[in-house]
Amino acid sequence: MKNCKRLILSILFLMCMGWLPLVNGQELKEAVLPEKDASQFVNITDVVPDVILEIRYFGTYNFVGKRIAGYLQPTALLTKRAADSLRAVSDDVMKMGYRLKIYDAYRPQMAVDHFVRWASDIPDTLMRRYFYPEVDKSLLFVQDYIAAKSGHTRGSTVDLTLFDMTTEKEVDMGGTFDWFGVESHPDFGGNPETGKYTGKASPAGRTITEEQFRNRMILRAAMMRHGFKPIDSEWWHFTLKDEPFPSTYFEFPVKEL
């Protein structure tokens, strides 16, 4: 009886982690193990030599406050198809006086698992004032800031911003990468479909300027012109529409290939 209870609890845990999803609400399908083959990936800098890398999860300035599991070198990887499309984006924004600056690209499953463990450790709020001062850490799963699966792990998603070659500074987007809050949403301060600025404030009373909203739209438009799609919650996050591995999650570490 005790062994049976343990089995049921184990299955429920795996379901919550996304490793044993339900099929038709009843049957359990076999867990999909993360793929370890990196042969279809490239170093982004080999394909897009003009990018700037600031790999946040290799360092300690991130929402966890520690180097994240699986980041062995401060480099960035993508599938070959996604990297080729990103090269087109880079060529595009270079004509406007910008370079691309990358915070994260391919993310191994072990890193996502690290995020899940951290989010479950409620007392660990080392970096709260920098990234989630108005969000109760116990709600990070409920509000979808942390999940057991990430599009990054499929290898065709990138987190990035613009770098101004004239000022030699990051373009002011009115908010930091990985900020947990409505201020990170692409529609904060305006309508991303029309490009119209509204200046609407967040519940905390924060706003962004018209220039900051316009800067977000420059990045968004360039990415979308070359086959990347945005998401509703992060202005910096884009996934290749025709990603080559839409249902494969990879596990190999981030290091030079």
Is 226:241 a contact under the CB 8 Å cutoff?
A: no
Q: What is the dihedral of CA 41, 231, 99, 240, to 10 degrees?
A: 30
Q: Are strands 196-197 and 190-191 parallel, antiparallel or unpaired?
A: antiparallel
Instruction: Let me know if 234 is a catalytic residue.
Output: yes
CB-CB neighbours of 22 under 10 Å: 10
What distance in Å separates the CA atoms of residue 223 and residue 181, rounded to the nearest whole number?
A: 23
User: The tokens of 197 are what?
Assistant: 């600025």
Dihedrals phi, psi of 175, to nearest 5 degrees: 175, 155
What distance in Å separates the CA atoms of residue 5 and residue 114, rounded to the nearest whole number?
A: 27
- The CA-to-CA distance between both ends of the chain, in Å, stands at 50
Q: Is 17 exposed, middle or buried (0-12, 13-18, 19+ CB in 10 A)?
A: middle
Q: Find the catalytic residue in 30, 54, 170, 234.
A: 234
Catalytic residue set: 234
